[in-house]
Amino acid sequence: MRKRKIAIIDAAIILAALAVVIGLGVAWWAPWQPTLVVWSCGSNYESLCTYSKWFEQQHNCRVRYTGAPVAYLLELAADPDVPVDIIVGRGGPGWQGLKQRDRLAKGPVFFAIDPFVIITPKGNPANIRDIQDLGRTGVKIVYAPFAMRPRGKCPSHLMAMVDAKFCPGLVERWLNNVTVQLKCGRKLHEPILDGRADAVIVPRSTTSWPELQGKVEVIPIGAKYHDAMKTCRAVMPQCCGALKAGGNPELANAYVEGMIGEEGQRIFAAHGYLPIDSLEAQDYQAFTKVFVPKNMAAWQVHMAQRLYADGAYGSAMRRCFVIYNIMGPSHYDARALYIAGECARQLGKPDVARLQWERLLDEFPRKGKREWESAVLDVGKLVPGVEKMPEEHWVSLAREGLNELGAASSLSDEHCRWLRAFPLQRVRILESDPTKCGKRWFGTAEMSLGAGEYVAATREYLKVLTLSYPSSYMPAARFRIALCHYLRGRPGTARRQWEDLTDELPDDRWGQAATQALEMSIGETDPKERLSRWHVALPDWELKYDTNQQRGMSYGEMLYRHRMPLYAFKEMMKISHNVYGKPGKLAPEARYRAGVFCKRMGKQAAAGMQWKMCQAYWPETRWAKMAGEALQRLAVPGNQNTAERPGIRALLAEPPLPLLKPDKTSPQKRFHIAEEFFCAGVFADDQCLLEYMKVLSVTDPSGKKNERFKPIAEYQAGLCLLKVGRSDAAKGHFQRVVELYPESPFAAKAEKMLAQGAM
């Protein structure tokens, strides 16, 4: 009886406790209260927790709040059956996706700005005053290359854009200063607090976290530098919106309105944001719109496919390497590898095709979720002929292609011997890697070298040394450039470069590799070159990297020194047409050097054309005087190429070509470069065709800035193909002119060419 009584008492205690727990649970759950489902980007977690608690008190409701990567949440919210009331996050393209799917009942409404800032330890021991200080020697930097936006990719993109507009070389110096790499963007402050680093770029809202109070200094970056970003602008403005699938539209509207109300703005200000109507936020008003980036990777694929259709297989294959390394990682990586393999097969290089397709099978389909794969991000202009296909599709095609390849080999035994001794690096490109950095160009060059494209590889390695100066990949690039020379049949040049590398970097991995390479190539010399019967002066260019224009000149000079006058000429044209910015004092020098490079290509009339322009339009410069001397030598009949003699005679008698107005838009710049190639009669390696194709595609995905150039660029591309004997491909361009631009005067010209058989 006593035991039974005890059991009853115990049961009563348990039931009472359970009743209390249930009561508390019911009170917490409060089923009689209206409930609002709120999803937000994880970076808004702290502020949304505070705001939601205040909102619950004001409206006697429950807020079920979830913080996660906003791209995934937007994708889920695009499903009309998902019962979510509110979405909060940065102003990226996902909002446009929700609009297109008619999922938004209200918004997006901008409620705050969250610009990037620099934080340093208390007292700022490294004396960081400006974003450019992050590239100063000895400054220890924290970086989260493996984190998602905005703490992963966006700081590196910001640095790349500041590099491009204000401080060339900054992004590489910043990368060289990185001493701590993290996977989690929410831990970027920890190395600052424990003394392992001097500075890190973080969103301003991070500085409100309790663990940072009184322990860090905050250095604003400023709107000027933020404005340099052409993409990733969407990370700063913060948006909110009410969804149509929500169960309580009135409460959802109140939640959104409260965020831009007085108390909501006070809460977000306390969490480090700039309230949307604050004085500080006015400098960022240009960013308060839904940002939809251009699908540049897809446009590059479009251009590669058109080059392939034109029979420009080498150019198309190299474009695929650029897509994979410079534009990647993206949805189009697998496709790029497959097209590269097809190009190699068309070039009669089955072993090179095998390399691309085996890599495709090895790396794809990729595992895990990728932010850029979200379907809700597919909101930009559709790219012709580049519909999205699953990676498995390209894997299947590659597997079929491998089964069809024969055993023939195009890569020499010497190529294979050297790459066995010094294997290629399979560079892992991260989304957070800055655009066009040394790492990306090095990865592109490695793929070209593996394909036996030694000239293309040298060009990309030289970009590491010049356009990406001072990249940590420079020693490796120097070694590979020497190897390319060796495989191009210039062992003496290769040995001299390896000797320099060994002397300068004896303890470096690549200095030691150079020592080994010298042992493998003892006693070999270059073949003798056939020298021109006459020469012109070409003063040495002192390699400089302080401005983008100087980097372009240095790159062009290096190309010439490495016996690639075609591409050196191209760099002079890029300088002349503002690709590197206004050339200023370098304009006459670029024209003079362009003439020298044309002469080296055997294009004497083209050389004279450049010298006449230099002499006519910059008459007071030393370069005009040198151009006049070069023209005097060119006028001697014995110095002239027999085939070019009539053209040279006419050139010398005629006035110089008119100097074009300064180029402003990217299509205009590339169109004028293409025209320079065409007028010079330089069609080698499809470089003239490539520039016209850029006008038609990648320079202006919007199709507005290049609209007036399209008919003539399409027509001129057809003429380029005729010049190199690919008449069938030329017909395709003429037909496009007739079909797409019937009102253009070039349509009549194209019809005439078609009537003549495009011959």
Please check the confidence at residue 24 and state whether its pLDDT lies above 50.
no
pLDDT of res. 16: 47
Q: 295-372+382-410 in CATH: which number?
A: 1.25.40.10
- pLDDT digits 0-9 by tens, 238-282: 999 999 988 899 999 999 999 999 999 999 999 999 999 999 999
pLDDT of res. 759: 53
User: How buried is 56 (Cβ within 10 angstroms: 0-12 exposed, 13-18 middle, 19+ buried)?
Assistant: middle
Query: What single letter denotes the amino acid at residue 300?
Result: Q
Please report, in angstroms and rounded to a whole number, the separation of the first and last CA atoms in the chain: 114
Please check the confidence at residue 32 and state whether its pLDDT lies above 70.
no
Mean pLDDT of all residues in 486-492? 95
pLDDT band at 21 (very low <50, low <70, confident <90, very high): very low
pLDDT band at 758 (very low <50, low <70, confident <90, very high): low
pLDDT of res. 142: 96
Q: Quote the CA–CA distance of 410 and 671 in Å, as a whole number.
A: 35
Please check the confidence at residue 18 and state whether its pLDDT lies above 60.
no
Please check the confidence at residue 10 and state whether its pLDDT lies above 60.
no
> For a pLDDT cut of 90, what percent of the chain falls above it?
77
Residue 277 CB coordination number (10 Å): 12
pLDDT of res. 185: 86
Please check the confidence at residue 48 and state whether its pLDDT lies above 80.
yes
CATH of 116-234, one of 1.10.3470.10, 3.90.1150.10, 3.40.1440.10, 3.40.190.10: 3.40.190.10
Torsion of CA 286, 431, 327, 168, to 10 degrees: 60
Residue 218 CB coordination number (10 Å): 15
pLDDT of res. 70: 73
β-bridge partners, 19: none
Q: Quote the CA–CA distance of 410 and 576 in Å, as a whole number.
A: 39
- pLDDT digits 0-9 by tens, 352-411: 999 999 999 999 999 877 777 777 667 767 899 999 999 999 999 999 999 999 888 899
Strands 141-143 and 104-113: what pairing? unpaired
Mean pLDDT of all residues in 46-73? 91
Q: 413-528 in CATH: which number?
A: 1.25.40.10
Please check the confidence at residue 531 and state whether its pLDDT lies above 80.
no
pLDDT of res. 255: 97
- 385 vs 299, 328, 389, 522, 539, CA distance in Å? 10, 19, 11, 52, 48
Q: Quote the CA–CA distance of 416 and 440 in Å, as a whole number.
A: 24
Q: Give the residue from 435, 371, 381 showing the smallest Cα distance to 229.
A: 435
pLDDT band at 31 (very low <50, low <70, confident <90, very high): low
The residue extents of the domains of the chain are: 1-32, 35-113+236-287, 116-234, 295-372+382-410, 413-528, 559-755
Do 116-234 and 295-372+382-410 have matching folds?
Answer: no
Alpha carbon of residue 604 to chain centroid = 37
pLDDT of res. 9: 54
- pLDDT digits 0-9 by tens, 439-462: 999 999 999 999 999 999 999 999
Mean pLDDT of the chain, nearest integer? 91
Q: Which tokens sit at 415?
A: 């190529």
Mean pLDDT of all residues in 641-647? 93
Please check the confidence at residue 487 and state whether its pLDDT lies above 90.
yes
Which architecture characterizes domain 35-113+236-287 according to CATH? Answer: 3-Layer(aba) Sandwich (3.40)
